[in-house]
């Protein structure tokens, strides 16, 4: 069987595609908090918008690190998982751009106009240090 490990170019292209990510962060005294998120991958950095008062934002500030995994939902399965330090920045995210990326222009506009957390939003940047990848299609030849 051929190796299913993705090259740098393959993993970055996969992460740049539209996938719902699962963000995991340490929650002291419990298991890690894992939540689905929308993200974009640009210039080697994962950018995630969220409500700055949310549990995940508070935990990210405290932990300073996170893991995010994205995957395909149909065979042949593939995934990319990245782990590294995070920055939680006070600047607001571009809710319309992110919502349009995931929902399309019409629903994205509706979401951006009706999301009450927009004024409290923060931008989180995850800087990947560790990459784990696999592409079953590549492994199967």
Per-residue pLDDT of 20-75, as tens digits, reads: 999 999 999 999 999 999 999 999 999 999 989 999 999 999 999 999 999 999 99
Q: Which two tokens stand for residue 40?
A: 């974009």
SS3 43: coil
CB 47 within 8 A of CB 16: no
> How far apart (Å, rounded) are the C-alpha atoms in residues 27 and 47?
21
β-bridge partners, 33: 25
Beta strands in the chain (DSSP E): 21-25, 33-37, 40-42, 45-51, 65-71, 78-89, 121-126, 130-135
Class of domain 8-92+120-139: mainly beta
Per-residue pLDDT at 118: 64
Radius of gyration of the chain measured on its C-alpha atoms:
16
CB 57 within 8 A of CB 63: no
Claim: this prediction has a pTM higher than 0.85: yes
- pLDDT average, residue stretch 76-105: 92
């Amino acid at each position: 069987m051929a190796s299913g490990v993705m090259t740098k170019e393959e993993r970055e292209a996969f992460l740049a595609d539209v996938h719902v990510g699962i963000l995991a962060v340490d929650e002291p005294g419990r298991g890690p908090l894992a939540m689905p998120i929308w993200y974009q991958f640009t210039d080697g950095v994962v950018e995630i918008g969220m409500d700055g008062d949310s549990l995940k934002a508070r935990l990210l500030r405290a932990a300073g690190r996170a893991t995010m995994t994205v995957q395909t939902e149909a065979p042949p399965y593939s995934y990319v998982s990245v782990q590294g330090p995070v920055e939680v920045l006070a600047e607001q995210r571009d809710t319309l751009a992110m919502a349009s990326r995931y929902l399309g222009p019409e629903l994205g506009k509706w979401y951006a106009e009706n999301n009450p957390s927009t004024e409290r939003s923060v931008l989180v940047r995850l800087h990947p240090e560790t990459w784990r990848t696999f592409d079953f299609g590549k492994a199967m030849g």
